[in-house]
Amino acid sequence: MGRPTRVAVIALCLGLCVATVLDVSGAPGAAQAQTPARAAPQPAAILTVISGAVLMRGAGAEFSSATDGSVLYVGSTVRTSADARAIITLFEGSTVELEPASDITIEEATMRGGSTIVELAQSLGRSWHVVTHLTTADSRYEVKTPAATASVRGTAFEVMVEDGATTVTTTEGRVATADAAATSEVLVLPDQTTTVHANSAPEPPRSAPAAQRVVTVSALSESSLVVDPLGRANGFRDGRVVAQTPGARVRMQDGTIVVTLPNVPDGVFGTTIATSAGAPVPVFTTVTDAGEDPVTIGSAAQAGDASARSGVELRTVNDKPDVRALTADETKELPDAKVSPNKVSAPQKTPRASDPLAPTSQPGAQPAVTPRRSVVPSPPPTGR
């Protein structure tokens, strides 16, 4: 074989070798065949729409309309319109109530070595958190805002983000509140509040403003829910506390459920009671407006097949509270409480924010029913 022929053979060999390498590393079909399938994201929470237009999106996706029972994942964001309210039930049982014009993202929600890790990012609006008791030292529940970070361990508290400042108000437990750079921290105790401005240390905790109105509803029952005029439910169901109204306090006293609701508006308050007896269940509603004597009215929850219902209407007449019991026909029209009765499977691995959004509804994904500690009680109703 002459020299030109040998060069041609060598060149041909090199060309074949290079082509072989490129085929292994660059052919899409071969690469896909050797790459393991990505595990589906684990559900982190369930969304309940109380009222109005609520939007949701997954990481990197666009906002779309949300519906009751929508499944949320790590990276999901929920946004409420100017007249909307929604409840996020996290996998471990904690709940987040979003008031109108609010925006919150689930940055992490997972179990790690038996510890619960929850990180939320709130960029706007008002949220009310009722947190399950975190039992391990490594458990963490944090709400981050542009100006601050609130860290808690089994508590009820509110976060307001407005005009670049963050205000944290504690109803039960303790909330450690730090500036965004984590250079300064204060401990906010029950009935205290603090404000953190951008690039500033948290203000010293001060007493939270007194409620301008307090409505207290008591019913002789072990399972009862009170729905306020804005559709938020509060009480006991299935052995756990439900507290959807910001600042709500729920307690059991001698077989009577006492629900205390601060700063609620005029409107109808409906009470649904689980009952096995046919006799009507007495329900007492006390309204205390600032500077006015308490007004108490009794009503009877008429027993049905599995529950009893009662309701009152509260109006302000001549700057004073006026309360009347609903008629039987009006009671039949009371709305049902929106409380998710199921449970979300605990995430075993936290999907990263780069993961695409999984389908917004997933068979078998259910909200949590982990029992929560009841919050600090208020005094029982007092009549005039």
Instruction: Please determine, for residue 6, whether its predicted confidence score (pLDDT) is greater than 70.
Output: no
8 in a structural domain: no
Decide if 211 contacts 292 (C-beta within 8 A): no
The pLDDT of residue 34 is 53
pLDDT band at 361 (very low <50, low <70, confident <90, very high): very low
The pLDDT of residue 301 is 81
Instruction: Please determine, for residue 205, whether its predicted confidence score (pLDDT) is greater than 80.
Output: yes
Give one DSSP letter per residue of 363-379, joined into a string. Answer: TT--------PPPPP-P
The pLDDT of residue 168 is 98
**Mean model confidence pLDDT for the chain:** 82
Structural domain count of the chain: 2
The pLDDT of residue 359 is 36
CATH number at residue 147: 2.60.120.1440
Decide if 344 contacts 367 (C-beta within 8 A): yes
Same-domain check for residues 203 and 220: no
Same-domain check for residues 79 and 226: no
135 in a structural domain: yes
**Which comes out higher in pLDDT, residue 61 or 17?**
61
Please state the rounded mean pLDDT for residues 310-322.
Answer: 95
The pLDDT of residue 35 is 53
The pLDDT of residue 275 is 67
Distance CA 34, CA 22 (A): 15
Q: Which domain holds residue 80?
A: 45-207
The pLDDT of residue 376 is 34
Same-domain check for residues 90 and 198: yes
Domain boundary residue among 158, 189, 207?
207
Q: What percent of the chain has pLDDT over 70?
A: 76
Same-domain check for residues 230 and 181: no
Beta pairing, strands 95-98 & 256-262: unpaired
380 in a structural domain: no
What's the pLDDT tens digit per position in 330-342? 998 998 999 875 4
Domain boundary residue among 144, 174, 207?
207
10 in a structural domain: no
Same-domain check for residues 131 and 70: yes
What's the pLDDT tens digit per position in 72-123? 999 999 999 999 999 999 999 999 999 999 999 999 999 888 899 999 999 9
Same-domain check for residues 59 and 203: yes
- Beta carbons within 10 angstroms of residue 130's beta carbon: 26
Same-domain check for residues 73 and 198: yes
Distance CA 213, CA 231 (A): 18
Please state the rounded mean pLDDT for residues 125-154.
Answer: 93
pLDDT band at 381 (very low <50, low <70, confident <90, very high): very low
The pLDDT of residue 362 is 35
What's the pLDDT tens digit per position in 179-193? 999 999 999 999 999
Same-domain check for residues 196 and 261: no
25 in a structural domain: no
Q: How long a stretch of residues is the chain?
A: 384
**Which comes out higher in pLDDT, residue 21 or 200?**
200
Distance CA 125, CA 88 (A): 15
Please state the rounded mean pLDDT for residues 365-378.
Answer: 34
Domain boundary residue among 155, 180, 207?
207
Instruction: Please determine, for residue 28, whether its predicted confidence score (pLDDT) is greater than 50.
Output: no
3 in a structural domain: no
Decide if 279 contacts 308 (C-beta within 8 A): no
381 in a structural domain: no
Same-domain check for residues 87 and 190: yes
pLDDT band at 278 (very low <50, low <70, confident <90, very high): low
Q: What single-letter amino acid sits at 316?
A: T
Same-domain check for residues 51 and 137: yes
pLDDT band at 40 (very low <50, low <70, confident <90, very high): low
Same-domain check for residues 160 and 259: no
The pLDDT of residue 241 is 93
CA nearest neighbour of 144 among 105, 90, 94: 105
Same-domain check for residues 313 and 291: yes
Longest dimension (CA), the chain: 118
The pLDDT of residue 7 is 41
pLDDT band at 17 (very low <50, low <70, confident <90, very high): very low
Coil, strand or helix at 36: coil
CATH number at residue 277: 2.60.40
The pLDDT of residue 280 is 80
Tokens of 268: 């109808």
62 in a structural domain: yes
